[in-house]
Each structure stands twice: as C-alpha cells, then as structure tokens.
Structure 1
Amino acid sequence: MSSTNYCTTMAKYNYWMNQKIYTICAEIPNAKRNEDLGAFFKSIDGTLNHILVGDRIWLGRFTQNPFAAKLDQSLYSDFEQLRQERDRTDQEILTWASQLSPGWLDAPFTYTTVTTPTKTVTRPAWLLVTHFFNHQTHHRGQLTTLLNQLGYAPGVTDLPYMPTL
C-alpha cells in the first residue's frame, strides 16, 4: 500500500462521508440537532463541531498554520456556517493530502498538545495522519448512531463502497 494513496483515499472518504452526514443533518430541526442525546459531545451539532475542531487543529499542525481551540468548543452555532466551514476544510484536506510525499510521512513530526500546551510529542508523521483520519471516522460513527436513533438512516458508510473508487 502506498502511504500517499492511503492519504488521498482517506481524504476523499472524509469528503464523501461529510457530504452524506451534513445532507441528512440539514433535514433535522435545529432544536433536535442541538438536543443533548447523551453522546460524548452531547448533541449532533456538538459532535459535528468537535470533528471540525479536531480537523482544524491537526491540519493547522500539519501545514504550520496553528489553529487554537478547545476540544469541546462550538465553533459555529449556525448550522449553515458550520456546513460551509466543513466544506471549506474538506477541500483544504483534499488539496493537502494530494501534496504529501512519502518522505514527509516517514519523518518525525513534533507537535504541542491541546490539553497540556507545555507538552510536546514526537511521532512519525504517518502515524499522526492515520490518527487524523481515524478520529474523523470514530466520531462520524457516533453521529451515525445518533442519526439512526432519531430515524435518519445514513445508508452505506463503508470505505469500499465510496463512489469515487
């Protein structure tokens, strides 16, 4: 498996899934999307915001454009603004992933943690990029559970069924 192919495939998967999730979420009334459903980030909108926060933080690290935010921060209370920023961020992720090199992915990468700003961590870049994409999938899994509980079926979410493969 090519490490750069993995990254571009996962960036495309991220885009595809976010399009599906946000299309469904647009059908749900604001009050229902913001209702505390017992999820880690409480609501659908809380979880959508957290995924975006995580993406902006990691992308900022990877591109040397730091993004300061708390992990539970709600960046946008307005769903359409959140959706627009999600789309913009996904386009940025697609572009970034298409420009990665095996050398960059194999090199050590040092970053400062959000939870302990005085702590730095060094890991291979490929591992952190894998975490970046895994984090998105983890929380989208939580979203699909919440959506199903509310009667909204997201349909097929498996990577091998992504239309652009």
Structure 2
Amino acid sequence: MISPDYCVMMARYNAWQNKQMQAALQILPPDALTQERGAFFGSILKTVNHLLWGDRMWMARFDRGAKPNGGVSDSVICTPTLAVWGSERFRTDGRILRWAEQVRSVDLVGDLRWYSGIKQADVTMPMGLCVAHMFNHQTHHRGQVHAMLTAAGGQGWVTDLFLMPQDGPRP
C-alpha cells in the first residue's frame, strides 16, 4: 500500500505545512485563535491542539513512545497558547520525521492492534492503512484551519505537495 519513501515525503510535507500554518496563525490577534468558529472542534487553537494530540497518539502506536494525556475530548486543550503549541508541534514533527526515516517496508505490513478510547474496544487494522490515515488526518484538519484562518481575515499558505521545497524544511 505505502512505502518508506512515502512516509518520509509525507513527514516532510507535514513539517512544511505546520511551519507555514504557524507563521500564518502568528499574525492573527490572540482572540481570533480562540473564537468559536463552528468547526468540529470549535476554534483554531482547539483544532490545532487536536491535530497535535492525534499525531502524538498515532506516533505512540507506531514507535511505542510516549502517548498524549487524556482522551479525544481532552485533545483540544493539550496546549494553552499558540507559542506553546508551536514548540510542541516542532518536537512532534521531529518525532514523525525520525520515525519515517527509520521505517522499513516490513514495518508497514501486517496489522496494528490497539485499544481505541473512541470506540471503547480493541481495534486491529492494517499498518499501512493506519499510517496513511495519520497523514490524511493531518491534511484534513489543516484544511479546516486554513478555512477558519481565511474567514478570520488571515492569509492562507501554499498547500500543494508538488511545491514543497525538495531540500527542506526539517523540524
């Protein structure tokens, strides 16, 4: 389904997108980040927090490292400010890239098993599907943030994968 090269490319894309998103969000007034906007998680800050939490949860399953505190309902409050989010995002993007650079083809086959707090049940899914889902989840929520940002009068950022710099950026 997917390859180690795909994982590295998408980890780089994720870091590039998050860096651009952070720059775009830093221009907004702080209250614009916390204003309820009718999105699934409400505000821009809550949505980027959920995205950070989700990436940490998936990475805990993939690399068996630390998982985030709380469940999905707590995901929207994992950082209190954009500045704290930015530093945590940088560290998490580094974790994703390090994992992607070490993953082997054999690591992407077979099943991943975990207990899902959302489903309240054990889940077994193909590893490749889970990795693809993590990268898709990132893109989905950044799209929501992009829409909320531009609706708030902010400037969007370039999201086209083919425009990603080939020599960077790296977290």
The normalised TM-score by structure 2 is 0.90
Q: What's the secondary structure of 1:72's corresponding residue?
A: helix
Contact 1:41 1:72 in 2 (8 A): no
Kindly indicate whether structure 1 or structure 2 has the higher relative contact order, using CA contacts under 8 Å at least 6 residues apart.
2
Matches within 5 A, 1:136-155: 136-155=138-157
Query: What RMSD over aligned residues (CA atoms) do the two structures have, in Å?
Result: 1.5
Contact 1:49 1:82 in 2 (8 A): yes
Post-superposition Cα deviations, 1:104-154, rounded to whole Å, max 9, x if no partner, equal 10121111112144x111111111000000000000000111111122222
Aligned-residue offset at 1:51: 0.1
For 2:128, which of 110, 115, 126 is the aligned residue?
Answer: 126
Aligned-residue offset at 1:87: 0.4
Q: Which runs of 4+ in 1 moved over 4 A?
A: none
Other-structure match for 2:56: 56
Aligned-residue offset at 1:66: 4.8
In the alignment, residue 122 of structure 1 is paired with which amino acid? T
Other-structure match for 2:94: 91
Structure 2: stretches of 5+ with no match in the other structure: none
CA distance in 2, matches of 1:40, 1:161: 29
In the alignment, residue 70 of structure 2 is paired with which amino acid? A
Aligned-residue offset at 1:65: 2.5
Calculate percent identity across the aligned residue pairs.
38
Contact 1:16 1:162 in 2 (8 A): yes
Other-structure match for 2:109: 106
Structure 1: stretches of 5+ with no match in the other structure: none
In the alignment, residue 122 of structure 2 is paired with which amino acid? T
Aligned-residue offset at 1:2: 6.1
Number of residues paired by the alignment? Answer: 164
